[in-house]
Amino acid sequence: MRDLLARCRKLLGPNHETPRNAEIMDLLEELCDQLGMHFALEEAFGYFEDAIYEAPQLSSAAESLRQEHAVLFCVFCGVTEIAERLRYRHASVRQRQELAEAFHCFDAAFCDHESREAALIVQAIQDEIGVGD
Ligand SMILES: [Fe+2]
């Protein structure tokens, strides 16, 4: 998924020459599948740290992170809807900007989410091994 995100950032970045709409759409569809799988796996298997579920403050943070998945997925679906509208026609500069802005908005929210998940896992590990005690 990191590779797909990196390719999307590049294709929708400010310095990239105009890519074909179908190319962006194919990439976003692939990313959509991977994103759904990524969230489903996290929700099915949790964050792999029992300490998170044993500590009330961590388990509530984990639950609120889990609830963000549906929101992030909806935001990403909004990106693919914009791309779908442009798939078979010439996109104006404004339309391409709208797509890029929507993608970067999702990307920023997703990266923030991932970084808070990573911090939660680190916190759980530190609590478990007693770092800072
Ligand atoms: Fe997550």
The domains located in the chain, with CATH, are: 2-129 (1.20.120)
DSSP symbols for 32-78: HHHHHHHHHHHHHHTTS-HHHHHSHHHHHHHHHHHHHHHHHHHHHHH
- Whole-number Cα distances in Å, 124 to 63, 83, 90, 106, 115: 14, 39, 50, 27, 14
Residue 23 C-alpha to ligand 1 middle, in angstroms?
A: 27
pLDDT score at 132: 58
- Residue 1 CA to ligand 1 center (angstroms) comes to 13
**Scanning the structure block, which residue is given the tokens 């792999």?**
48
Measured in Å, residue 62 CA sits from the centre of ligand 1 at 9
Read off the pLDDT of residues 17-73 as tens digits, 9 standing for 90 and up: 666 777 888 999 999 999 999 999 888 877 656 767 777 778 888 889 999 999 999
pLDDT score of 133 more than 60: no
Ligand 1 centroid to 108 CA: how many Å?
14
39, 102, 5, 64: CA torsion to nearest 10: -30
Pair of tokens at residue 64: 């609120």
CA angle 69/75/79 to nearest 5° reads 135
* Ligand 1 centroid distance, CA of 79 (Å): 19
- For residue 91, the CA-to-ligand 1 centroid distance in Å is 33
Residue pLDDT, tens place only, 85-97: 887 777 777 888 8
CA of 33 to the centre of ligand 1 (A): 15
> Which position has the token pair 């996109």?
91
